A and B are shown apart, each in its own frame.
Chain A
């Protein structure tokens, strides 16, 4: 292929950025290992401890993956690309600002989808209870990814360097895990809107719903409530980040 090959002439800009980001993640061994093997290894260790294959355990695994593979990796990627002035260069292209952010988040999100598939296969091989409603579980995966990407966009707004991301993502991690634990410790039909509005809460509720029988789902206050909560939280994160986000390092 030549440099001026136009086979991808019609490819949307955000998708070009996403493909490039995925390539960069896989090409950087440190990032690739952090984003793929570390969370999977942690899940294996957790499962060896007291893994019971319950819906709660599946939700925990999902939130762990989201925290490492989407939230932390996207925050670091945004901070790193900004420090290298790569974001500034992308801003000189015709790709819209949100398209650039979406593209940069897409790499980690695609990795997360692949990991989720691996996770599901692992649960199946271990003989754990299969999900009753895969569509709801898929909704948990998608809404969780969107929420964590939006949260990463917001966190990157006040993350000056890639190194600082290790510190600035800690509150977000705590919120994700706190939201998950709060929902897991509440009966499914008693989860409130406030609990769902906490990142980690909605995805946990959806994951749990994906493993319950249709009769049990009726007892949950609707599958759409957590989806709606996740959309609202993601939108708020994006709106805040759009005001706070910087495209180049602080001078």
Chain B
């Protein structure tokens, strides 16, 4: 399993999404509309070669439209997209195979078996058959002779991934790849994606699972209402919200707290401090408690999590903009 330290190393490698010869995937001022509805409204993205980038967002945030435009299935109404330096809609055939896609909906012929589906895909990509045994990679070898219509949702996602691997892509688009998978399959998929990224494959992943983004992504962006609300490494994104100290001081404690850098709020006996100086404020609070013989019950101090950032974006709170 990749540790957070390793992730931090990857973060450092791609601080801006632009390395060497420029981004592998790029969108500039991307705007996509369905009639009067603006699904994507001025998205800018730059993903470096070998980077694993996660696109998060609420339902209807515009993630899938963004990814489908980058895949070449849609043409942008405004703005510019480039994949490996080419317009993906105009150069669909040239990019096929170099760019692999795991679509949100699988798009299989249910009457074909798993093995027949893979064989069909390989025959459609005669110049890009580089992966030795993709079915084994995704633990579907034992289901080779089963018709696709009989596969579970998770197995279909794994077959999707096997087809994507089969052509040895340089770019991999994954639209909610682990939806419907059991925990073991999800873990296996994460290991596989991590290995692909380590081998230099550029991956753009959309997901509803925040822990997936935290676990895998070099960088991420949270989309809301067609725009990117916040982007950066996991640490950078989490830092857009203040850390929190929560405790319930023992009875008898006054409310004459020491001067703190953060904002304090009381909810009955419970104290919450929101701060950008977690260590300093925590030290002052503990020191104050020692001096005044107050016990800080249920003490909890933590940096903001991706979940909190996501919730704030979803609720359209101002704190993201406050610091970004």
**Residue B306 lies at the interface, judged by CB distance under 8 Å to chain A:** no
B135 touches A3 (CB 8 A): yes
**Residue A174 lies at the interface, judged by CB distance under 8 Å to chain B:** no
**Residue B283 lies at the interface, judged by CB distance under 8 Å to chain A:** no
A13 to B125: give the CA distance in the assembly, Å. Answer: 8
Q: A3-B119, A3-B122, A3-B135 are in contact. Are A93 and B96 (CB under 8 A)?
A: yes
**Residue B33 lies at the interface, judged by CB distance under 8 Å to chain A:** no
Q: Which residues of A contact B124 (CB under 8 A)?
A: 13, 16-17, 90, 93-95
**Residue A123 lies at the interface, judged by CB distance under 8 Å to chain B:** no
B121 touches A85 (CB 8 A): no
Partner of B73, one of A24, A28, A91: A91
Chain A contacts with B in 1-47, Cβ cutoff 8 A: 1, 3-6, 8-11, 13, 16-17, 20, 23-24, 27-28
A94 to B125: give the CA distance in the assembly, Å. Answer: 7
**Residue A86 lies at the interface, judged by CB distance under 8 Å to chain B:** yes
Q: A4-B132, A92-B96 are in contact. Are A24 and B121 (CB under 8 A)?
A: no
A6 to B116: give the CA distance in the assembly, Å. Answer: 14
Q: Which residues of A contact B101 (CB under 8 A)?
A: 92
Chain A contacts with B in 83-117, Cβ cutoff 8 A: 84-96
A84 touches B109 (CB 8 A): yes
Q: A11-B123, A94-B93, A94-B97 are in contact. Are A89 and B111 (CB under 8 A)?
A: no
Q: Which residues of A contact B129 (CB under 8 A)?
A: 4, 6
A91 to B34: give the CA distance in the assembly, Å. Answer: 21
Query: Which chain B residue has the least Cβ–Cβ distance from A8?
Result: B123
A3 to B140: give the CA distance in the assembly, Å. Answer: 12
A7 to B93: give the CA distance in the assembly, Å. Answer: 22
B125 touches A3 (CB 8 A): no
**Residue B271 lies at the interface, judged by CB distance under 8 Å to chain A:** no
Q: A5-B119, A20-B120, A251-B34 are in contact. Are A85 and B107 (CB under 8 A)?
A: yes
**Residue B115 lies at the interface, judged by CB distance under 8 Å to chain A:** yes
Chain B contacts with A in 99-126, Cβ cutoff 8 A: 100-101, 103, 105-112, 115-116, 118-126
Shortest beta-carbon distance from A20 to chain B in Å: 5
A9 touches B126 (CB 8 A): yes
A86 to B118: give the CA distance in the assembly, Å. Answer: 14
**Residue A248 lies at the interface, judged by CB distance under 8 Å to chain B:** yes
How many A-B residue pairs lie within 8 Å, measured between CB atoms? 85
Shortest beta-carbon distance from B167 to chain A in Å: 9
**Residue B277 lies at the interface, judged by CB distance under 8 Å to chain A:** no
**Residue B92 lies at the interface, judged by CB distance under 8 Å to chain A:** yes
Query: B101, B109, B120, B144: which has the most chain A beta carbons within 10 Å?
Result: B109
How many of chain B's residues have a CB under 8 angstroms from any CB in A? 37
**Residue B11 lies at the interface, judged by CB distance under 8 Å to chain A:** no
A28 touches B108 (CB 8 A): no
**Residue B71 lies at the interface, judged by CB distance under 8 Å to chain A:** yes
**Residue B321 lies at the interface, judged by CB distance under 8 Å to chain A:** no
**Residue B133 lies at the interface, judged by CB distance under 8 Å to chain A:** yes
A24 to B112: give the CA distance in the assembly, Å. Answer: 7
Shortest beta-carbon distance from B83 to chain A in Å: 13
Partner of B110, one of A84, A88, A90: A84
A115 to B250: give the CA distance in the assembly, Å. Answer: 90
A84 touches B126 (CB 8 A): no
Q: A3-B133, A16-B120, A91-B92 are in contact. Are A86 and B107 (CB under 8 A)?
A: yes
A251 to B122: give the CA distance in the assembly, Å. Answer: 29
A86 touches B108 (CB 8 A): yes
B107 touches A88 (CB 8 A): yes
Q: Which residues of A contact B118 (CB under 8 A)?
A: 3
Q: Which residues of B contact A94 (CB under 8 A)?
A: 93, 96-97, 124-125, 127
Q: A3-B119, A16-B123 are in contact. Are A92 and B34 (CB under 8 A)?
A: no
Q: Which residues of B contact A91 (CB under 8 A)?
A: 73, 92
Q: Which residues of B contact A248 (CB under 8 A)?
A: 73
A212 to B124: give the CA distance in the assembly, Å. Answer: 45
Shortest beta-carbon distance from A3 to chain B in Å: 5
Query: Which chain A residue has the least Cβ–Cβ distance from B122?
Result: A4
Q: Which residues of A contact B125 (CB under 8 A)?
A: 93-94
Q: A3-B133, A16-B123 are in contact. Are A89 and B115 (CB under 8 A)?
A: no
B103 touches A89 (CB 8 A): yes
Q: Which residues of B contact A10 (CB under 8 A)?
A: 126
Query: Which chain A residue has the least Cβ–Cβ distance from B111?
Result: A27
Q: Which residues of B contact A24 (CB under 8 A)?
A: 109, 111-112
Chain B contacts with A in 69-103, Cβ cutoff 8 A: 71, 73, 92-93, 96-97, 100-101, 103
Query: Which chain B residue has the least Cβ–Cβ distance from A81?
Result: B109
Shortest beta-carbon distance from A1 to chain B in Å: 8
B108 touches A89 (CB 8 A): yes
| Interface contacts beyond A10-B126, A84-B109, A94-B96: sample of 4 additional A-B pairs, CB < 8 Å, sorted by A | A6-B126, A24-B112, A88-B103, A247-B73
**Chain A residues at the B interface, C-beta cutoff of 8 Å:** 1, 3-6, 8-11, 13, 16-17, 20, 23-24, 27-28, 81, 84-96, 247-248, 251
